[in-house]
A = this chain, B = another copy of it.
């Protein structure tokens, strides 16, 4: 195999497994078997091990000694914890972004919102549109990007990614009918363009909190009448 540019095999497996976890192709709780993954990527088990170790350190997987790796599962307590952290940190980061972001950043947010607004959330078959999920993530990332602090940005991004694991679970139980997500995004965009730090922070916080609230409500609705 003559073609290898400059990155390691472990990196490639890491990227791919990570993508599949975030995309939901490897749902939470799935076992991540060495032989299986090693076969799929045509690499040694050691390489897979390294990749999974990185994912575990990042919190997207969990490593149980002598029992292998699994995709991280989120219970309600974890979700609430992460949501609280996101509410605080993302609103903090968006305030910084508005305070510091330049015109180019502002433009990129508008562009990302336009893409999001023009992408249908559901496919014609009634399923979630993967393109919309990507555009949604891109919009929020663009929003935070302007903060000018790579450390804060990567913390916020990491939390968003971890939180996105619940999507696999939320899609089936919390339809969230009476909620206009597109409007929420529009309001966030307007606050960003208006350079209204406080308003933007509140809107972002609400945006994050609402999904979790719906899940909590659905969970109690299911748990109590049993």
Contacts and interface: CB of A to CB of B under 8 A. Distances in A.
Integer count of this chain's copies in the complex: 2
21 contacts: A8-B65, A8-B66, A11-B65, A49-B50, A50-B50, A50-B53, A53-B53, A53-B57, A54-B54, A57-B57, A81-B149, A81-B150, A81-B151, A81-B152, A85-B151, A85-B152, A85-B155, A88-B92, A92-B92, A151-B159, A155-B155
Interface residues on A, range: 20 to 34
Contacts of A138: none
A6 B66 contact: yes
Contacts of A82: 151
A89 interface: yes
Interface of A: 6-8, 10-11, 46, 49-50, 53-54, 57-58, 65-66, 81-82, 84-85, 88-89, 92, 149-152, 155, 159
